[in-house]
Structure formats: C-alpha cells, structure tokens
Structure 1
Amino acid sequence: MPGIVERRSRIATARADFLRSGRAESTTVPGVVAASWQRSFSAGVDAATSQAAYHEDLDLTGRLMRSAAPVIARLSDDMSEMPLSIVLTDYRARILSRSETDRTIGTLLDKVSLAPGFNYAEGSVGTNGIGTVLESGQPLYIVGPEHFHEQLQPFACAGSPIRDPATGRVEGVLDISCLTEHSSPLMHSLVRSAAHDIERNLLVDRNECQQALFDTFIRLDSRTRGALMAIGGSIVMGNAVAQNLFEPSEQRTIHEHARYLMMGQSNPVDQIELSSGKVVHLRGTRIIVGHDVAGIVVAVQIVSETASLEHRASGRSYRAGETQPASLGAGPAVADLSVASGDGRSLLWHRACSGISDALRDDVALLVMGEAGCGKRSLIADLYRSAVPGGRTMVFASADLDGPRIRDAERALADTVDPTLFLFTNIDRLSIDGVVGLNDFLVGLAASDRPISIAATVSDADLGSGLPFRDLLPHFARAVTVAPLRHRIEDLPLLVAHVIANVTGGRRAVVSPAAMRVISRYPWPRNIRELEEALAVALLKRPVGEIQSEDLPGYCHSGASRLLSVLESGERDMIVAALHDAEGNRVRAAAALGIARSSLYRKLKSFGIDAA
C-alpha cells in the first residue's frame, strides 16, 4: 500500500508540472497516460472547468445494448459486495447505460456527469477510462491523478474496447469505475473478460441475413485453402488469403462484381481481369433467407497474372478501371457514345460493349438484357453506328408491334437496300398477338437476303417468367447483359459529364465533389433515366457554375430500403433542405423543423439520409 500511495503522489506531482509546462515526466508517467495528457491539452480541455456534453440521440435498443445487458447484469451480481459502477458507451464515448452496486458511488458519479447521455470523449473531459480507451484502442486502467480532469481524481476506472468480431470495428467501451480507495488492478482483467463476453454475444446477435452470411463464410473457409470473400448489405469480409493476395483496389473490384453476380439469375460463376493484369475466377454461393438474397460468398482463384498491354477487338477480357478501346474493327472510334449510354471505365461496361460489338460484327441476332433505363437501346444503336459506317437503325417499340402495326416493320424490310439494324425494344411487354406478329416477321426475315441485322431488348427481371415473349427466344443466337448503374459506380463521373453537356448545350456547369459523393451513394433504381432527371432538376436550380449537393432532388440523399409514400417523400425532402440550410448541423436542423433531435435521428435512419 505505501508503494501505491507513493506512486500516485509522484504522478500527481508530474500532472501538476505538466499543466504548468506542457511536458510530462516520461520516467514517472506511463506512456499511454502522458500521450493522453498531451492530446487533452492540445484539444483545449480545461483541467478544472470542462464539462461533458449531453446527447439525446442514443441507440438504446441496438445490438450493443442487447449483447451487453446480460453480461452487465451478471457482473453486477458478482461484484455486489464492492461499491462500483459499470458503464457501457457507444463508439463515440456517449454513455448508454450505468448500473451501480452502491447508491453512494452513483451519487458521486452524477456530480461528474458520468451518467447516461453524457459524452466522455477524451477531447471533452480529458484522460479517462472511456475516451482514452477509444483513442488508444486498448484496455486501460486509469487511477486517481492519472485522470487529466481534477474532478475525476477521486476515481479509478478500468475500461476495455468492445469490437465487433466480424468487422473488427470498435462498437463501444465497457468501463468499471469506483473510488480509488476501493480500486484493485484486478478490475483491469475483470473488464477485459466481460468485454470479450459482450463480443461473443455480438457475434450471436445478428439479424437472420447477416448470421446466414457469416455462418456460410465460416463453413466454407474451413474447407478451403484459397481466397474467400463474403459480401452482403454493409458487410464485407475476407479471409487472410484474400487479404494477402489482392490489393485494396483489387478487392473492391471483386466485391463490386460479386454484388453483381449475387443479384443475377444465372450461376454465380465468372472470370474477370483486374486492373493489375490478374485474371481471376470467381465461384459464388448465394445466401438465400426466405425470399431475399442475403449475400454471396465467393471463392477467388488467380488464373493468370500476365498483364496484357493491348486490347483485341474481339474475345477480349477488359480490365476494371481501364478506358474503352478506341476502335471496333474498321469502324470509327467507339468512345464517343451518346448521352444515354455514356462512356465507361467499369469492367461490366466494357464486357457489355465487347459482347454487343462482337454480335453486331458477326451479324448474329442479339438479345440485350438489363433493367429499365440502363441504356440498352442507345448503346446498341451507338455501337452499330460505329461497327457499320453508313448503316442506319430502325427502332420498334413493343407498343408498335401489337396488332396491325407490325406491318410497318414488314414494309421497312421490303424497302431496305442499305445495311440496317432492326431494333425491337422491350419485347417482354408484347401481348400474345404481338409475339405472333413478330415471330412471323423474324421467320420471313430469315428467308430474306436483305442486309438486315436484328437486336432486341428485354428486362432481365422477366426472363424467369412465363410471359409470351419467351416463344421468340429461339430466334436469337447471342445474349448480352447491360449492368444497372448501381453496379457501375466507376462510370458515374464520365456519365454525369455526358448528361450535363447534353442538357446545358455548352454552358459552363460542373458537379462539385460533395454532389458527386451524393450521386455515387444513391442506388439509382431507374438507372440512367433517373440520373438525367436528377441532373435536370439540379441545373434548374443552378444553371451555370458548380452544382452543389443541395441542388440535387431530395431522393438522391436517401438510401431508404423501402418505397416511401408521398407524405414520407415530402417529409424527407423537408429534412434534407433543413440540413442543408443548417450546414449539416443536426441540432439546428431539428430546431428549424420543430422536432426533437432524437426524432430527427430516427427519421434520418428510416429514410436512409446521410447527413455527413
């Protein structure tokens, strides 16, 4: 005991010297404490008067609270003979809960605001067993004069970070506090053990989709020696082999392609070339929970690491992140595509361009699949114009082919002399009569010697249906998929520039980095068509100059996973406008809207609004 008292006395003297000189005695004060004192001093913490800030927007029903509750209850029972307090905080050092075994300790902690709602970040109250744990990322035992703030001198606290076992991210801190005369170094071991118990509970307490994804990843990882990655929702995991084999940029490309394979209907097996020149084979296992696709686990195998310096016009494997080839066969450059199709850098874009170009060059009937609005029609027409100089394109919408209007296509066929592409759009929307008429037309075309090329578009969502258009599929020899915009994030900057140039007609207008971040985060369910509409709205608000994030429609700021009602959409737009007016300050935005901050936070989460 005399040794402990003497040590604390030396640290108290060193603290007083530090407050006067700004330098800590390295031989007396533990390095982690000295570093914390320096950070506290640099952050402007007043060792006598600083107060913890209070917050109302706490998540009191989430996974962390659920996982910690039984551990804290058990710890309270085990330590009932010792006057102490057990505190749980979130990852921002905001106190979520506090339980104590003695009323006196609770009263004393109330005086220093170590209570639910208050923020014990190091930058607010200096060195302590919560904020300093978050800053250092390690369990700590802070006693008496080691605290920066003099009001915390009577206390001893042991804190440990709580990490999500799946992501490694710190979710919060578990802290045990008591008066220094009741403290023991055993508190350090006790809080670490309890934090590990909470982490195990976090592993179990996942929603059904996350748990299914995690279980599949663990099971497959135990059976393979190769690279394995799991992707689903906001979760991305990779085993040690994957981390070692692939650079971060390569991993991102694989993740994005895995998401694309996950949402497809075909077997999730593919081979792609990365920007580094590596050719990798992907074999995926989709995770289905109920009627939902929860995620995908992909085994990744390197096929070749030989980088190709040239792209061939056919049979090529484009690299993610590289620009489109300058020419197609003997035709002119392909890079200058229309606004609707845009230029692109993504792997999926190049694969679609390559597949369509090859089919047009080989003059085989082509079926192009993809979501509505992803640019199928324009892409086909642009690539045909490049592949067949002087050729023309005739477009027939599904509505034009129902009933007697199929005769227009037949008359056009009879009058055709020059190379012509007959492009039939949205054939999945044809009625039975329309399918019969188009079938007769295609049969007649097969017997004709006219210089006609055939292409059609269809929504890939309808491929598994029993719609009448399926009777037309035998007429087509090749199929290509155009990926939705949400799987072509790399293409957005160039695509946005194309759209703006088309709408403005040469006016000086660009998109700010903040607005581009909003554009990149939004999933664009209606694809390019919706992007064009959003930028048109933004250009009405700011016809020249730099488009800001607040110029974009309210829905661009929303990542809601459900369809919002008209009333909810209006409320979302009001919240987005209030946040922009308040320059992102949520307190001011809530006041302007006349709602509590806790209500604003709930609505931000419900509408998927990123107010960062």
Structure 2
Amino acid sequence: MGDAGAVQHVLDRLEDGGHGPGTVSDAIQLSWRRSADAGLPPDHVAVPFDPDVDNESRLRWAAAPALSTVSADLSDVPVALLLSDGSGHLVERWAGSIRTSDQMDGIGAAPGYLCREELVGTNSIGLSLLTAAPTVVLGHEHYADNLTGVSCASSAVIHPATGKLLGVINATCPADAYHPFLPALVGRVVAETRQRLLDDGPVPSPALRAAFVTARRRAKGPLAAVSANTMFFNTAAGPILTAPGDRALLWEWAERAIHQHDGRLQAVVTFSSGPRTTYCEPVYEGMVLAGALVRLGPATASTASGSLQTDFGWSKLTDSERSIAAQVARGLTNRETAALLFISPHTVDYHLRQIFRTLGVQSRVELARIVERNR
C-alpha cells in the first residue's frame, strides 16, 4: 500500500463510519500524511515494545502522586492514565479496573510500549511530543485501524525551570466513553506535576542569595540572581523573565561570558519578552562560581535592530533547517531529531551548524527563543 493509498484507506474508513473529512482538523490530516510517509500500514500498526523503562526518573517521581489520586477518583470509569517520557516511551499506567487494563494491553497502552507518531501513527501522545501542547485524538481520528476503539487526551510536561519537554500525561478511554472533561483532567495532573518539580528545586547558594539581597536594597531597576539550577528576581524583573526557559538562557549567557572575560559584562540577550541590554557580574563561594547577579536594562533601538536582524536570518532558513530548528528547540538531541525526521544524525549536525551561522546564535537556548518568536 503506497503513501496515497494509505491515506485513502483512512479516508474511506472515516466515510464508512459516517464521518466526513470536514469533521477532522487539518492537524490530524497532516499527521495521517506523516504517518503514511513513514511507511506505516493503517490496516494494522504493531506498537513497538522496549522493556527497559526508567521508573526512577524525576518525571515519574513528580507525576505519580497526582496520577495515583486521579486514578483512584476514576475507579468506576473506564479510563487509563498513562505517563510517557520525552521519547514517547510509556513509563507507567494507572487503571481503575482489570477490564480497563486488559483493553489497554490489547492496543499497546502499557509500560514499555513506544507511542511516537512515526512508530504508531496518529495518537495524542505523539502529537503532544511534536507540538508540546495539549492534544485530543478521538477514536476515528487515529491513523491505525487497531487504535480506533479508543479516544485519548494528552498534554506535555514542561520543566518549570529549564523549559525542557520531559514527557507526556495521557488519558485513554473507549471511544464511546470519551467525555470533554478528560483534557481538563490531564491539565490538572500536569499542573500538579510541574508544581511538585518547582517545589523540589535545589537550595540556592548562600553566597548568591546574600549577594542578591544586598544588591536588591540599592537596585533601581530589574535585578536577578541566577545559577545552573536556581533563579530569583525583584518585582521589576518579573514581567521580563516570563518564560521557564529564560533562566536557562540567562545562565548559559552569564556563565559563558564570565569564563571568557573578567569583571562586569554586558551584552544584548533576547528573552521571551524581547531583547534587552543585560549586565552580569560573577558571585563566588570561595573559589567556586556560585552564580551571577544580572541587571536588565531597557530595550534600546540597537537591541530592536538586532532582533530584526535575527528574524531576517530566520526567513533565510530552508524548510528543512526550520524543521530541524523546531525539534532542537523542543529539547531533542541531534540523534532524537534525526530519528523523528528520518534523516541521519550527521545531516542534523551539518544543518545545525548552518542554522547557528545564519542566525548568529551560539547555543540551543538562544535558538529556542528565536523559534518561539517566529512561530
């Protein structure tokens, strides 16, 4: 069955079930085409299995309490809650009954199975991994015939400090039992998981905290203190440092600048809220770099010009380069990006060097900011 034949098979099945193509979103239809391009036969997709599951990850630790609580509340409802890591590998499942567990086993919705789109076709876990956004796939919207018996809702878990996509929370139920409350339920679990990750953050260096407290007393503008794993800031800096990834971006720049120069440093840094002239000075605990004090200046004409220049560079990227940039910006490694796009890691390496050169960036975090601004 060729690519066109595979998509036609799905369309015919849709029509036979009383659903016209107009009832399915463009995002779902694009997913069907990607699934067909991956060579997946829609009449039956075998879900791959890898028994090497990471049950000790921070994601599993953070998500398990909320998943267990919600699952207990749904003990009389035929819904299974699933947790996948950032590669679509199912880590654990919570189901309220043996009957629900048996149905999930029959479709490969159990620990060890892999749910990336290029492996099993259209599904909400795969779509959330691609988009880092909440997704719903109803029974008839699945690419594979053997998955049409269930509907599912998923949402990505983004680390609140680093902005990295850690995995996906999913709720799956029989197609005829789907209810619009499922996405909200998944959203609740994701919110509690992120809060648990945030509450368990590392204790900042005493020297960094002391330096921040002293500087804050005389600061007249936005001020932050940042390290590899913590960040705190005054009220004026709050509206500027609005995204989880801003901490990683700020520390990556400050650490590189401190190691390359001495004394107080200045550069234009593009945050999620826009580019600003930024100043930093190192804070040491003994002989060890504990972090940096950062002062944020106003956006100036020169920084706006720099932002426009970067955006112009984005327009010069090819479609392939933009696709690679989008995956790298999600936190995927070069090897993971290669597997997702069906190209070699060497090709990703080559294109990534070209992308960095065209955009004038030096890190993946800076690249992520540009991708976000040009969505």
| One-letter code aligned to 2:228 | G
Relative to structure 1, the CA distance from residue 180 to residue 214 in structure 2 (aligned partners, 3 Å threshold; closer, same or farther) is farther
Larger Rg: 1
CA distance in 1, matches of 2:166, 2:215: 27
Query: Offset of 1:66 from its aligned partner?
Result: 0.9
Within the candidate set 267, 270, 292, 2:264 is matched to: 270
Q: SS at 2:198's partner residue? A: helix
Query: Which structure 2 residue ranges, 5 or more long, are not aligned?
Result: 1-6, 270-275, 303-347, 353-375
CA pair 125-54 structure 1, distance change in 2 beyond 3 A: same
Question: Which residue is equivalent to 1:16?
Answer: 11
Is 1:42 the counterpart of 2:20? The answer is no
**1:113 correspondence with 2:98:** no
Aligned residue number for residue 158 of structure 2: 163
What is the aligned partner in structure 1 of residue 291 from structure 2?
295
Q: Deviations over 1:497-535 (max 9, x none)?
A: xxxxxxxxxxxxxxxx98xx9xxxxxxxxxxxxxxxxxx
Give the Å deviation of 1:205: 2.4
Q: How does 1:85-484 map to 2 (within 5 A)?
A: 85-208=80-203, 225-226=221-222, 228=224, 230-232=226-228, 241=240, 254-258=254-258, 270-272=264-266, 282-284=279-281, 286=283, 293-301=289-297
Map Cα deviations across residues 174-200 of structure 1 (whole Å, 9 max, x no partner). Answer: 011111232211111111111111111
Higher relative contact order (CA 8 A, sep 6+): 2
Contact 2:158 2:164 in 1 (8 A): yes
- The number of residue pairs the alignment matches comes to 285
Q: Cα gap change, 1:19/1:178 in structure 2, threshold over 3 Å: closer, same or farther?
A: closer
Q: Is the 8 A contact 1:221 1:239 kept in 2?
A: no
Offset, 1:122:
0.7
- Aligned-pair RMSD on alpha carbons? 4.9
In the alignment, is the contact (CA less than 8 A) between 2:278 and 2:294 conserved in 1? no
For the Cα contact (< 8 Å) 1:282–1:300, is it kept in 2? yes
Partner Cα distance (2:210, 2:103) in 1: 45
Change (3 A) 1:303 1:132: closer
Q: Deviations over 1:267-293 (max 9, x none)?
A: xx5145789xxx9773546375x9965
Q: Which residue of 2 aligns with 1:334?
A: none
SS state at 2:41 partner: coil
Residues 287 and 294 of structure 1 are in contact (CA less than 8 Å); yes or no, is this contact kept in structure 2?
A: yes
Q: Match for 2:257: what amino acid?
A: H
Alpha-carbon deviations, 1:441-476, whole Å to 9, x = none? xxxxxxxxxxxxxxxxxxxxxxxxxxxxxxxxxxxx
Aligned residues of 2:83 and 2:93 also touching (Cα < 8 A): yes
- Inter-partner Cα distance in structure 1 for 2:131 and 2:121: 13
Q: CA deviation at 1:231?
A: 3.7
Looking at structure 2, the residues matched to 219 and 181 of structure 1 have their Cα atoms a distance apart, in angstroms, of 61
Confirm or deny that 1:72 pairs with 2:67. Answer: yes
**Which letter does structure 2 place at the counterpart of 1:256?**
R
Scaled by the length of structure 1, the TM-score of the pair is: 0.39
* 1:286 partner SS: strand
Alpha-carbon offset, residue 249 of structure 1 = 11
User: Partners in 1 of 2:81 and 2:169 — Cα distance?
Assistant: 7
What is the deviation of 1:53?
A: 2.2
Structure 1 counterpart of 2:63, which letter? A
Contact 1:213-1:232 at 8 Å conserved across structures: no
User: What's the TM-score once normalised by structure 2's chain length?
Assistant: 0.61
Aligned-pair identity in percent equals 23
Give the equivalent residue in structure 2 for 1:601: none
| 1:281 and 1:303 in contact (8 A); partners too | no
Contact 1:67-1:205 at 8 Å conserved across structures: no
